[in-house]
Amino acid sequence: MLAKRVVVFVLLALLVLGVSAQDGQTVKIYTSWPLTGGTQAIGQSMLNAVNLALEHYLADNEGMGPAGLTVQVVPLDDASPTSGAWDGQIEAENAQRCVNDPECLVYMGTYNSGAAAVSMPITNAAGVVQVSPANSYAGLTRSCPTCAEDEPGIYRPSGEVNYFRVAATDDVQGPAAASWAVCLGFENVYVLDDTQAYGAGIANEFVNHAEEIGLNVVGRSSLETADSDPRSALTAALRDGADLIYGGFVLDSGGPRVVQAMYDEGLFDEGIKFMGPDGILSAALIEQVGGAEILANNTYFTFPGLLPSLLSNEQGVRFYTDYVEQFGEEPDPYSVYAYASMQVVLNALGSASETGTVDRASVLEAVRSTADFEGIIGTFGFDENGDNTAAAFYGYDFESDNFSNPTAITPTMHETCE
């Protein structure tokens, strides 16, 4: 009888050791987005938010990581020192570094949708979960009328979904922007883009919906590089009677240059306004265009959520207050989504530990199973494509030196404009 009790005790002890053996196990989360160049301010703010989310988690759990894990953030820069913009070769190298590191269980990124198209096949083939705080090009996760025929399958060589994102997609943002433009009273729009997956993609979405709802698209052109001169396009817009220019850009692909040229060439004086997507809604835009007075009363922007200073839930207020106190500046709008992504990952690490093994497969499955998660951006989960189940968009104008007057926008708001 004593022998049996000893055996049972040993088995129970081994069972306990099997779980607690994870205590002290190091888990690495690689982040990849621009930390230099034109979007450096956004990337650094996103990284600050990731570290702050981990700091808050540890503070709430007596200094312990999920299930006793030691969580290490490994920040990587996917911007080229030459161009100052994201670079496909660097992004591929970043993803491969994670894949080659056995302790890397999560690849967090990217900021640019085009960069995600590079890293997704690499992480997918290796079975590493990828979580993006910012990508919004619809074709990364599902087929759509403006997507390429082989999307999103081309990003999933394993045939399994390993990519998830907390931000909403452009096939909602572009149409919502077109409907909002109608409600603002615009009738004729000239569309510019940067030819990239994000910029051209959201411009396509805007144009398609504009034509469906009777918003007249008087012209369209593209800027091949961030240094391209937009003045000939702006001259065409003025000639063709545009009262709005819609620009599919990010900060380092020419967006600030277009706004600055509109000011320099007198388009704002002619009453022509600019509207742009989330990719250029950043405090960094103010300095890059030459000052807040250029943006004030001349520009409109769309973004998938409330700006950090407007968050009213307990987690949002804590994030904003601690961020400003610790870093001495306003957090970038996308820092909220970086924080939310880290919350999802930390929660998934805890869920994975309940299976007895924390590895790439268990963490991937835990992220995939995320549902009704209460985070800084509210309650959400991921659908079968990897998209946020509770995404929404807001429109902003610019006054009093800041992005202001948030308005909930939808692709159908033009029907009543309420």
- b/e per residue, 172-195, with b = 16+ CB within 10 A? bbbbbbbbbbbbbebebbbbbbbb
Q: Tell me, what amino acid is at 151?
A: E
Peptide bond into 152 cis (omega under 30): yes
Res 2: pLDDT? 37
Look at residue 388 and give its three-state secondary structure. Answer: strand
User: Which residue would you say has higher pLDDT here, 17 or 56?
Assistant: 56
Residue 397's Cα: distance from chain center in Å?
Answer: 21
Helix (H) or strand (E) holding 341: helix 335-353
Look at residue 379 and give its three-state secondary structure. Answer: strand
Res 16: pLDDT? 36
Q: How confident is the model at residue 283 (pLDDT cuts 50, 70, 90)?
A: confident
Identify the residue whose tokens are 């659908």: 383
Question: What does the alpha-carbon distance between residue 327 and residue 342 come to, in Å, rounded to a whole number?
Answer: 18
Integer CA distances (angstroms), 318 to 59, 182, 331, 376, in order: 13, 37, 13, 9
Question: What does the alpha-carbon distance between residue 23 and residue 196 come to, in Å, rounded to a whole number?
Answer: 44
Encode pLDDT of 219-234 as tens digits. Answer: 999 998 878 899 999 9
Res 134: pLDDT? 93
Cβ 43 vs Cβ 111: under 8 Å: yes
Integer CA distances (angstroms), 404 to 122, 172, 302, 378, in order: 40, 21, 11, 21
Helix/strand/coil percentages in the chain, nearest 5 = 45, 20, 35
Res 145: pLDDT? 83
Res 23: pLDDT? 59
Of the segments 19-23, 90-94, 329-333, which one has the largest average pLDDT value? 90-94
> pTM (2 decimals)?
0.82
Encode pLDDT of 243-271 as tens digits. Answer: 999 999 988 888 999 999 999 999 999 99
Q: Tell me, what amino acid is at 159?
A: G
Encode pLDDT of 320-368 as tens digits. Answer: 999 999 999 999 999 999 999 999 999 999 999 999 999 999 999 999 9
Res 7: pLDDT? 40
Encode pLDDT of 105-152 as tens digits. Answer: 999 999 999 999 999 999 999 999 999 999 989 999 999 887 889 999
Helix (H) or strand (E) holding 302: strand 299-303
Encode pLDDT of 158-187 as tens digits. Answer: 999 999 999 888 889 999 999 999 999 999
Question: What does the alpha-carbon distance between residue 418 and residue 407 come to, in Å, rounded to a whole number?
Answer: 10
Sequential DSSP letters for 8-74: HHHHHHHHHHHHHTTTT-EEEEEEEE-SSGGGHHHHHHHHHHHHHHHHHHHHHTTT--GGG-EEEEE
Which is nearest to 323 in space by CA: 311, 306, 335?
335
Identify the residue whose tokens are 């759990």: 61
pLDDT, averaged across the chain: 92
Which phi and psi angles does 163 have, rounded to 5°?
-115, 130
